[in-house]
Structure 1
Amino acid sequence: MGMTAEKSFLGTIIKANYLISDTVIRAEHFEGTRHQELFKVMVDMIQKGKTVDLISLTTLVNLESFGGISYINELLSFANEEKFEEIEDLILESWKEREKRNILVNASSEDWEINKVIGALDKINESKVDDHTSIEDALTKMYEAPWQEKAINKGIPTGLKVLNAMTNGFQNDELTIIAARPSMGKTDVVIHFAKEAGWQGYLPIFFSLEMPEQRITDRLIASTGRFNRMKMRNPFKDLTDSQKTAWSAVIGRVSDTKIQIFDSPGQSVGEIRAKTRKMIQQFPNRKPIIFIDYLTLIRPDNFYGGNETSQASEISRNLKAVAKHFHCPVVVLSQLSRSVETRQDKRPMMSDIRQSGSIEQDADLIMFLYREKYYNPDSDDNSLEIIVRKNRNGPVGTVYTRYNEHTGEILDADQGTV
């Protein structure tokens, strides 16, 4: 398995050169000597600004030492960009196993004490390759802290003043869960957040696992242009003359968001990571923020005998890891269980999250949506409450907004009309 993983890793790098700058793998992690040497050559070529591909590799004077062109073709046949993270893990695990065997051989030949053996094995088990900070480096950053005003760590704006004040925006490395009952306005809320992030110069990457791209695009246009969504079914017939006049400006405004939409159903977290990495490479000057609609539609890596709580827990842990890996916010929609409908006060609580499992622990920010009109359709109440139940780095409370269910527009409670 280890050698197959190494072939897949090298083939994927040849196919997608940008991955080499993001990987934690080093030459010494490979078992195969020629894999070590080939990786060093590839790193050297990319550092010199050269492209690593089938053609450039055929020009290597020592190509035969790597198995010749036939072996390069074989490596390419193992390429799998979407499984790149898993391939890295396999290589690292194989390296750890070899290191542990070496320790046991040395311990036997040199007659180590048992505590030394255990300590060495623990060090390998706990080893990470990309998270080292010496205490000297850590303290250097803190040395002037008492004499310097600390900059406020402003996150990606939400477009809502009160919510910004409460959360300081969406923060890097943080997982946000937005949960509500069906048709409460979840998708419109996350589209609002994505637009606002895009207009502020960030890169919204939108994974729509239920709704096709066309419907997302329709909602973006409708909420931006304040068009009734029903008119998006046939703009030629249903838009007014004034709306048609404004159409090109609205399209331009939506285009400015630079939102990237992926709408394949049943995507795994590994696929989400691979596609995110590709977008980061394509837009190097924009900081990403990931939106996913919604959590339980993500395909888990393991089946767990059909245990949905265990599957959801795996997914939430992996999404938190994605936020930390890309040093960006990850915002995920989630559904609520029907238990909320049995209470007199139907404002959601933490226990209402479906298959909550470790979601409550993994999330840094948990927000619920509540609309009175959802339960009283005849009401003219257009308010939408964003209830912050968990905020790891700030206060909790309720943010009052106004929501136009026909256009999808969301505004602060004291801002204009919807």
Structure 2
Amino acid sequence: MKSEQTIGTMPQLCLAEKALLGSFLKENHLLQDTSILPEHFAEGRHRLLLRLMKKIHSQSRAVDSVTIALEGDPEIFGGLSYVQELLSYANPERYESYEDIVLEDWKQREKKNILTLAVKEEWAMDRVISALQNMNQAKINDHRSINDELLAVYDDPWCEAKQPPTALSGIAQLDAFTNGFQDGDLTIIAARPSMGKTDVMLHLAKQAGWQRYLPVIFSLEMPAHNITKRLIASTGGFNRAKMRDPYQHLTEAQKNHWSTVLGRLNETEIQLFDGSSQSVPMMRAKLRKMIHEFPDRKPIVFIDYLGLITPNDTYGGNANQQIGEISKGLKAMAKDFNCPVVCLAQLNRSVEQRQDKRPSMSDIRDSGCVEQDADMMILLYREKYYDRSVKNPALELIITKNRNGPVGTAHAVYNENTGEIKDADHQRAI
């Protein structure tokens, strides 16, 4: 929001500082992530309070009004009532924007201080420039020297390469094209409604979980209990119609298999968020929390689906601009958290008008910048979807964009009754 990016008055800055401190109190793990230092705050008591909070957190203790009272003198901060009041300003989902506000204001203050001191002490111009550059390094850690990069690859021709781990799909032909889902990559999986894209997503999430990744699913369309039923049905090979009342409809053999299926699914550690109105900043906040709760697992994010993500701006109702903002946000999330992000998308009706109904990238609804931002695009096609007389359960995964490899079509088998995905040779995946 514009007002949050341009700081002109102390009340605005004070609110941002309060919101940051409140967010730290509410979500202690943010103290480990933040680049904000006590000296970045304009208000003295906020500097003292952040210094104390960081000290308590460094001792692996909970940061709250009790530990603050025990460790310091609350009267310095305005009393415990003020510490409690800070919680009312907490909004961890907007934490990054508050950081930007505080840092930007600190930079403006520092710039004035540097220029004032430079005039007073008659600094040389190179000293002024150096001081300003050092100030601007706050929250900038993306610098790489070519010397260091070349040194890192110097021995590569004589050493066997260690391939970075990737989240394999368990579909041999797809993995041959992609070598799995890569860290920092945004993948878009698009299809017409009821083509099977949610089942594909759940298949990929299970495979990733069984490979010790942490699958984080943002289901904006389907509630968590329905997602859970789908996972059980596809894993156990149960007809989804029976999942409406397992007691009545499952056979004795299936009931005996039930606990094994649930145990197998439990190993995936899938995390579900099924709020209907979620923005990219909200997802980032929830993902950050999951990373701290499961430090031994690399996250992989799945989102169902692109068109339901809430944009930060309405852009006057311009859907292309809204989707463009969201796709850029998803790519930034993949890069910032260094994890794969897989997002489902709908195809528009134009595909239905063609003789060959296999989709192309231009069929993505309100595509905007999606084609540009995505590292990989996979479009789903089933002949049986358009001709119910066809008995072939084949599912085509058409890779139309792949920054890390070739494009082409991978084949799998889809059971629309159970939601199970198998390899093209009808073998179960991992």
Q: Which interval holds the TM-score relative to the shorter structure?
A: over 0.9
Q: 2:54 aligns with which of 23, 43, 54?
A: 43
Q: TM-score, normalised by structure 1?
A: 0.93
Q: What SS class does the counterpart of residue 333 from structure 1 fall into? A: strand
Q: Distance in 2 between matches of 1:347 and 1:100?
A: 58
2:210: which partner in 1?
199
Q: What SS class does the counterpart of residue 71 from structure 2 fall into? A: coil
Letter in 2 for 1:96: K
1:307: which partner in 2?
318
Q: Displacement, 1:115?
A: 11
Q: 1:358 aligns with which of 354, 366, 369?
A: 369
Query: 1:136/1:214 Cα in 2 relative to 1: closer, same or farther (>3 Å)?
Result: same
Matched, 1:87 2:95: no
The answer as to whether partners of 1:225 and 1:250 remain within 8 angstroms in 2 is yes
Q: 2:400 aligns with which of 389, 397, 402?
A: 389
Matched, 1:243 2:232: no
The answer as to whether partners of 1:373 and 1:381 remain within 8 angstroms in 2 is yes
Q: 1:215 aligns with which of 220, 226, 233?
A: 226
Query: 1:125/1:58 Cα in 2 relative to 1: closer, same or farther (>3 Å)?
Result: closer
Structural mapping, 1:399-410, within 5 Å: 399-410=410-421
Q: TM-score, normalised by structure 2?
A: 0.90
Q: Distance in 2 between matches of 1:343 and 1:93?
A: 53
Q: 1:225 aligns with which of 221, 236, 247?
A: 236
Letter in 1 for 2:65: L
Query: 1:351/1:124 Cα in 2 relative to 1: closer, same or farther (>3 Å)?
Result: farther
Q: Displacement, 1:317?
A: 0.8
Query: 1:150/1:3 Cα in 2 relative to 1: closer, same or farther (>3 Å)?
Result: same
Q: Displacement, 1:216?
A: 0.5
Letter in 1 for 2:358: R
Matched, 1:158 2:169: yes
Letter in 2 for 1:324: K
* Gapped regions of structure 2 (runs ≥ 5): 1-11
Q: Displacement, 1:153?
A: 2.6
Q: Displacement, 1:131?
A: 2.4
Query: 1:118/1:334 Cα in 2 relative to 1: closer, same or farther (>3 Å)?
Result: farther
1:379: which partner in 2?
390
Q: Which deviates further from its counterpart, 142-151 or 231-240?
A: 142-151
CA RMSD of aligned residues (A): 2.5
Q: Which deviates further from its counterpart, 320-329 or 36-45?
A: 36-45
Matched, 1:325 2:336: yes
Per-residue CA deviations over 1:114-141 (Å, capped at 9, x if unaligned) read: 9999998798778643324445543442
1:19: which partner in 2?
30
Matched, 1:411 2:422: yes
Q: Distance in 2 between matches of 1:177 and 1:114?
A: 50
Matched, 1:274 2:268: no
Query: 1:180/1:119 Cα in 2 relative to 1: closer, same or farther (>3 Å)?
Result: farther
Per-residue CA deviations over 1:374-410 (Å, capped at 9, x if unaligned) read: 1111110110000011111111100011100111111
The answer as to whether partners of 1:178 and 1:331 remain within 8 angstroms in 2 is yes
2:14: which partner in 1?
3
Q: Distance in 2 between matches of 1:16 and 1:206?
A: 21
Q: 1:186 aligns with which of 187, 190, 197?
A: 197
Q: Distance in 1 between matches of 2:106 and 2:268?
A: 43
Q: Distance in 2 between matches of 1:362 and 1:109?
A: 49
Q: Displacement, 1:67?
A: 2.3
Q: Which deviates further from its counterpart, 75-84 or 244-253?
A: 75-84
Matched, 1:70 2:67: no
The count of residues paired between Structure 1 and Structure 2 equals: 418
Query: 1:123/1:313 Cα in 2 relative to 1: closer, same or farther (>3 Å)?
Result: farther
Q: Distance in 2 between matches of 1:49 and 1:342?
A: 61
Q: Distance in 2 between matches of 1:137 and 1:366?
A: 33
The answer as to whether partners of 2:23 and 2:91 remain within 8 angstroms in 1 is yes
Q: Distance in 2 between matches of 1:413 and 1:12?
A: 49
The answer as to whether partners of 1:154 and 1:168 remain within 8 angstroms in 2 is no
Q: What SS class does the counterpart of residue 176 from structure 1 fall into? A: strand
Matched, 1:288 2:269: no
Query: 1:155/1:246 Cα in 2 relative to 1: closer, same or farther (>3 Å)?
Result: same
Letter in 2 for 1:175: L
Per-residue CA deviations over 1:337-379 (Å, capped at 9, x if unaligned) read: 1111121111111111111111111111111000001111111
Query: 1:256/1:121 Cα in 2 relative to 1: closer, same or farther (>3 Å)?
Result: same
Q: Distance in 2 between matches of 1:15 and 1:295?
A: 29
Query: 1:248/1:325 Cα in 2 relative to 1: closer, same or farther (>3 Å)?
Result: same
Q: Distance in 2 between matches of 1:103 and 1:318?
A: 35
Letter in 1 for 2:407: V
Q: What SS class does the counterpart of residue 59 from structure 1 fall into? A: helix
Q: Displacement, 1:160?
A: 0.9
Identity of aligned residues (%): 55
The answer as to whether partners of 1:188 and 1:408 remain within 8 angstroms in 2 is yes
Letter in 2 for 1:71: Y
Query: 1:198/1:374 Cα in 2 relative to 1: closer, same or farther (>3 Å)?
Result: same
